Amino acid sequence: MPSNKLALHTIALLGLGVLPLHRPMPARAHAALTPPPAISAGVPMGSYVAVLANGEKLPWTTKVPAVNGLSHWARLDLAVLRLTPDGRYTLSYRYAQDVLDSRQPMTLPPARDELSVGRYADKGKSITFVPTTAKDRSDRIVTAQVVGPDIFLDKTVFVGERPFRVRLLFRRDPSLW
């Protein structure tokens, strides 16, 4: 390419912002381009998918005795946790549950979705989730443990009036962000 065409081509690219200028960038502009920090050592913002529930792979099905002759069945198909740089989270579940006659074959209704949104706070090796509560719900504050790159979240669900703990292991999935 002749030098005058190269100069015109370079000027056009600079005008489009494709080539960097050779001036130092102001500190505040550089800070705006810096990626968000991790919420704790080794746990970056993004989406996390539950891979285990109480030590078993998803989809996970469990039976909890209810009253005489009845059992509470539940199946967790999917759980996704999303952490954003502004301190907000979204936790979504796809599950099915029902109280069934223990003597009959188990057939669960179609899966339904549940969503919890709110704010989270990093406390070193733990993350505290504070949900935004709706008028018809009483979400509880939940604390999850950070172990290496993984997040262990204990969710307590009530079967009747009896608490039942489900421990979910979340792994980061960068393809979901």
Give the domain ranges of the chain: 46-176
pTM, 2 dp: 0.69
**Three-class secondary structure of residue 127 per DSSP:** strand
pLDDT in tens, the chain (177 residues): 444 433 333 333 333 333 333 334 444 433 333 334 444 444 678 999 999 999 999 999 888 877 777 888 889 999 999 999 899 999 999 998 888 887 887 788 889 999 999 999 887 789 999 999 766 666 678 889 998 889 999 988 776 677 888 999 999 998 876
What dihedral do alpha carbons 145, 148, 150, 154 form, nearest 10°?
Answer: -20
The beta-carbon contacts of 124-131 under 8 Å, at least 24 apart in sequence, are: 124/40, 125/40, 127/39, 127/40, 127/43, 127/151, 129/89, 129/91
- Residues counted in the chain: 177
Task: Tell me the three-class secondary structure of 60-110, residue by residue.
Answer: EEEEEECCCCEEEEEEEEEEEEEECCCCEEEEEEEEEEEEEECCCCCCCCC
**Three-class secondary structure of residue 28 per DSSP:** helix
CATH of domain 46-176: 2.40.128
R_g of the chain, CA atoms, integer Å: 24
